[in-house]
A and B are shown apart, each in its own frame.
Chain A
Amino acid sequence: MSVRPTSRSIFDTLSRSSPSNHICRQCRRTLTPQQQRYASSALSSNGQSPQRTIAQRHAIPALFQSGKTQRTLVSVARRDKEEVDDAGVTGARTWEGLPIIGHGGDWKDMPETVQDDYQSWHGTALPTLSHEQLTAFLFQAIVECHTCSELGIAETLAAGSHARSLLSPDLFETATIAISPKHTIQGVQHPNLDADTTEVLQEKLQSPVESENTQTQAENTQIYLPSPEQQSFLDARIKPNNPMTFTILKRFSFLIGRRIPDPLLTTLTQKPTNTYRHLVTALNEHLAPKPANVIEKLAMNQTLANQSNVLVFPRRETPVDKEKEVGRWKIIEEELKKRGLPVLGRTKVQE
């Protein structure tokens, strides 16, 4: 009984089990062992790979399949060339006019797919909202929620995701938010609310969210700004245990097109005396664009800039700035111009 060395038997097993992993470096196709052998032999014989199509490059010649020798291959090639010459066909020497098949092998040459048209929602700049705009949206949210509550469709409103105002602007003009003696929102008084409006509101709520509704109310510039008398609701306290508060905040969130962060809500609701004015102020600070660099941060906080012995440069301090500071730059500039030299940078020396 012959005993084979262990390492050799393992190698055999591995070579038998693993398929050919040769991949064409131009078209990234996996080649069969036969194609691989032909490709390597063609490269070694010529020294460099000729310009051919993918089909030609990976075609296994009949001679290789039949197992004939290299000598036979050369003789057959000569015979083919003679036949072609006889037919009066000349082979292409350049690629001009030849059809391009496939791509150049680079990702940028590949045709665009559906995934390439995808636009990320992350990082898209939303319009900034002022304190007045936030107040207006909060007013709208409260009026809509309490109106729906009176009509008995508050749950439908809370479940929906309508991003546009549901009521007409003239209804907002006449609406008044009533505040209880305990400084909480009691309800909304609508002198112009009739049966037709109720039906329209119900239809709007029950209809599915249309494509135009994907644009939030915040993106729409036409909003109703409440009068100073109507803004008295800002002094009403936020009641976290009231289900209506949740409905109002959700509606408010949909109208402004932004989420109200949970930490902000938690902070506000921890103190029972916090009002809707605190909510608007905190949200306005949260939604304000963050400073991008140190200069913007320093511009926001004027403590340092207000000191007489501190100088903040908005950009790099250049050598020109140093010359300007001592009043030498005008003279330098004049003298350089007089001599025909560039004031900044260099000129190319012509040989």
Chain B
Amino acid sequence: MPVQAIKSVATSRNGVGAFILQCRRLDFHYCDWAGSSRGMNKLLTSSLLPQQVTTKYPATEFRISSRPNKHPILKAYYINGNTKAICVRNLEPAQIIQKAELLLQNSGIKNKKIRGKNVVSQNESVRGIWSPLHGGLKNV
């Protein structure tokens, strides 16, 4: 009986065929009174937000609501159920847009510490997994 290769089914990968943005919702919280919200309020009332964020990501829901007497924050909700929030106190509108981009393009996976030695890849090795029964057999 000849040796048969292991059957494998193509796994779905985001971006192969279709790409689904992982961030499903982004909340903009601001305060009308506090000075730390000056940049956020400026961003919300300017044309920057519709031009650079909301029209660019039509698949994501954007919510704007006040959070009185609190620092302004961006809160992102992801498909995997995770949430990530960034405090944007005293930031300028352009800086807040950078933070919003960071959250929007994020996968939503919990942050991990990447160590230098280990190579992390989702792709299998080209040579395959080593097996004692295959290849390089020695006849003694």
Contact = CB atoms under 8 A, between A and B. Distances in A.
B65 A309 contact: no
A56 interface: no
Nearest to B68: A316
Interface in A316-334: 316-317
Given A312-B64, A315-B66, 4 more contacts: A298-B64, A307-B62, A309-B61, A311-B61
B54 A310 contact: yes
A301 B64 contact: no
Given A294-B30, A315-B65, A316-B66, A309 B58 contact: yes
- Name, among A303, A310, A311, the residue most crowded by chain B CB atoms within 10 Å (CB to CB): A310
Contacts of A311: 61-64
A238 B63 CA distance: 47
A296 to B, nearest CB: 10
25 contacts: A293-B32, A294-B30, A294-B44, A295-B66, A297-B44, A301-B45, A304-B49, A304-B54, A307-B54, A307-B55, A308-B58, A309-B54, A309-B61, A310-B50, A310-B54, A311-B61, A311-B63, A311-B64, A312-B63, A313-B64, A313-B66, A315-B65, A315-B66, A316-B66, A317-B63
Interface of A: 293-295, 297-298, 301, 303-304, 307-313, 315-317
Contacts of B67: 316
Given A294-B32, A294-B41, A309-B58, A303 B47 contact: yes
Contacts of B54: 304, 307, 309-310
B22 interface: no
A303 B65 CA distance: 17
Interface string B7-27: 000000000000000000001
Nearest to A300: B45
Contact of A310 (B47, B62, B66): B62
Contacts of A309: 54, 57-62
Interface of A is mostly: loop
A294 B66 contact: yes
Interface in B45-83: 45, 47, 49-50, 54-55, 57-68
Nearest to A315: B66
Interface residues of B, number: 23
* Most A C-beta atoms less than 10 A away, residue of B58, B60, B63: B63
Nearest to B55: A307
B23 to A, nearest CB: 12
Please list the 7 inter-chain residue pairs (A to B) with the smallest Cβ-Cβ separation, ordered nearest first. A313-B65, A317-B65, A293-B32, A297-B45, A310-B62, A311-B63, A312-B64
Contacts of A316: 65-68
A301 B27 CA distance: 20
A298 B32 CA distance: 13
Given A294-B45, A301-B45, A304-B49, A310 B65 contact: no
A303 B50 contact: yes
Contacts of B45: 294, 297-298, 301
Interface string B27-47: 100101000000001001101
Contacts of A315: 65-66
Nearest to B33: A293
Contacts of A310: 50, 54, 62-64
Contacts of B57: 309
Contacts of A294: 30, 32, 41, 44-45, 66
Nearest to A312: B64
Nearest to A305: B64
Contacts of B63: 310-313, 317
A308 B63 CA distance: 11
A303 B59 CA distance: 18
Contacts of A308: 58
A304 B58 contact: no
Interface string B92-131: 0000000000000000000000000000000000000000
A180 to B, nearest CB: 43
